[in-house]
């Protein structure tokens, strides 16, 4: 039986001994200390996750969760709702979309999951975990009941277990669902106790000014009417969330439970990460932020968790497209830790090491 509270008690912090050993090795590598910046931080945190100083992340996987959102009825999205089904069909078919190409280019396996898309995918390579044909319209009623949220979280959690059982070294997550920047912003606002939508709500996928104003009002009204408990992620998701967000939240929790590094994509992805963090702060230690999103809710969530995205690429596609690119950066960080020589390896004398430190202080 899936018990969230039991899982919470079993989450563990990073291996501090391994982290310290990684810090010490970084200080011995043939370079000025700190000169590789975030690459050094990545390799140190990976050591804490695995318990080993030298790591690789050769086997990679990305889970893409699809779901429709009832709040779409309120005119808060620019594309037709049928695009959720259409895009998932393309991901599963022969038409190569952004996520397909980017996963292939970076040797990342892709798993497609239907959490609540209107329509079926008979004969297509989409795993069926449909819990609803889209959520309810949270402008009128809660998006779903608590039982449904818990089922969705469990599904995401079990995909982390699948990754662990099948020898994957690192996981990513993505989504597809018209209107899910609305649900993501609502969840971030609820988790951070923000009532003013001007602070957290962005344009999403090219809204008109009228639709943008409507989006902000719908979110503000829903938060006022439903009063989600910011300390209860299940309550937040049930009132203003989405099935994709709930599954992704479960995936983050599962990644921490099974001690797997997990990469964050854009605003929907980081909204789920924030909910996992609200569930237990230790989940953050296993997260790596891939790229900066222009959505204000992304910035708010990243600041709350003190996460530092690796890339600034002006990406806003979603689908998980930032994750495989960031995984390549992580590969590089791990290669430096594994393969770079130390001063001792080349018998570098103290004078040479001191000269490197002087050069480093001048900048590049």
Residue from 179, 153, 304, 137 nearest 235 by CA: 153
- Is residue 40 annotated as part of the catalytic site, yes or no? no
Please report, for residues 68, 105, 279, 314, 340, the alpha-carbon distance to residue 327 in angstroms, rounded to integers and kept in the order given: 28, 11, 25, 18, 19
Q: Of 319, 339, 351, 355, which residue is the catalytic one?
A: 319
Contacts 24+ apart (CB under 8 A), 309-314: 310/38, 310/42
Task: Please say whether the beta carbons of 300 and 192 come within 8 A.
Answer: yes
Please report, for residues 179, 199, 326, the alpha-carbon distance to residue 237 in angstroms, rounded to integers and kept in the order given: 15, 20, 27
Give alpha helix (H) positions in the chain: 4-10, 16-28, 38-50, 83-92, 98-105, 146-165, 180-192, 197-200, 209-226, 233-240, 243-257, 267-279, 296-305, 322-339, 350-362
Please report, for residues 64, 127, 251, 253, the alpha-carbon distance to residue 244 in angstroms, rounded to integers and kept in the order given: 9, 13, 11, 14
Torsion, CA 138, CA 243, CA 114, CA 257, rounded to 10: 180
Q: Which helix (H) or strand (E) holds 289?
A: strand 287-289
- 75 vs 271: CA distance, rounded Å: 22
Contacts 24+ apart (CB under 8 A), 213-221: 214/74, 214/75, 214/76, 215/74, 215/76, 215/182, 218/71, 218/74, 218/76, 218/139, 218/182, 219/182, 219/185, 219/186, 219/189, 220/195, 220/196, 221/139
Residues annotated as catalytic are 319
């Amino acid at each position: 039986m899936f018990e969230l509270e039991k899982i919470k008690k079993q989450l563990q912090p990073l291996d501090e001994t391994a982290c310290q050993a990684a810090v010490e090795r970084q200080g011995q590598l043939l370079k000025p200390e700190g000169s590789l910046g975030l690459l050094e931080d990545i390799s140190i945190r990976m050591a804490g996750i695995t318990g080993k100083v030298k790591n690789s992340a050769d086997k990679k996987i990305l889970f893409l969760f699809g779901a429709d959102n009832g709040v779409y009825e309120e005119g808060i999205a620019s594309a037709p709702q049928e695009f959720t089904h259409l895009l998932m069909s393309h991901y599963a078919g022969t038409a190569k979309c952004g996520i397909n190409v980017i996963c292939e280019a970076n040797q990342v396996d892709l798993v497609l999951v239907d959490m609540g898309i209107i329509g079926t995918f008979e004969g297509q390579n989409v795993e069926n975990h449909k819990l609803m044909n889209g959520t309810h319209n949270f402008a009128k009623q809660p998006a779903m009941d608590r039982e449904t949220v818990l089922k969705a979280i469990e599904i995401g959690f079990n995909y982390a277990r699948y990754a662990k059982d099948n020898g994957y070294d690192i996981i990513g997550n993505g989504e597809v669902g018209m209107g899910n920047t609305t649900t993501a912003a609502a969840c971030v606002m609820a988790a951070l106790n923000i009532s003013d939508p001007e602070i957290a709500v962005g344009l999403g996928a090219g809204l008109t000014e009228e639709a943008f104003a409507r989006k902000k009002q719908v979110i503000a009204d829903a938060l006022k009417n439903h009063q989600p408990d910011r300390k209860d992620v299940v309550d937040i998701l049930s009132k203003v969330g989405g099935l994709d967000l709930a599954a992704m939240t479960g995936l983050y929790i599962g990644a921490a439970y099974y001690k797997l590094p997990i990469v964050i994509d854009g605003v929907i992805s980081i909204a789920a990460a924030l909910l996992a963090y609200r569930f237990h702060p230790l989940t953050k230690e296993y997260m790596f932020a891939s790229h900066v999103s222009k959505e204000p809710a992304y910035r708010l969530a990243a600041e709350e968790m003190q996460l530092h995205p690796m890339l600034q690429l002006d990406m806003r596609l979603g689908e998980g497209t930032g994750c495989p690119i960031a995984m390549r950066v992580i590969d590089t960080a791990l290669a430096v830790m594994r393969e770079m020589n130390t001063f001792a390896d080349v018998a570098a004398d103290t004078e040479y090491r001191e000269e490197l430190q002087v050069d480093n202080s001048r900048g590049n």
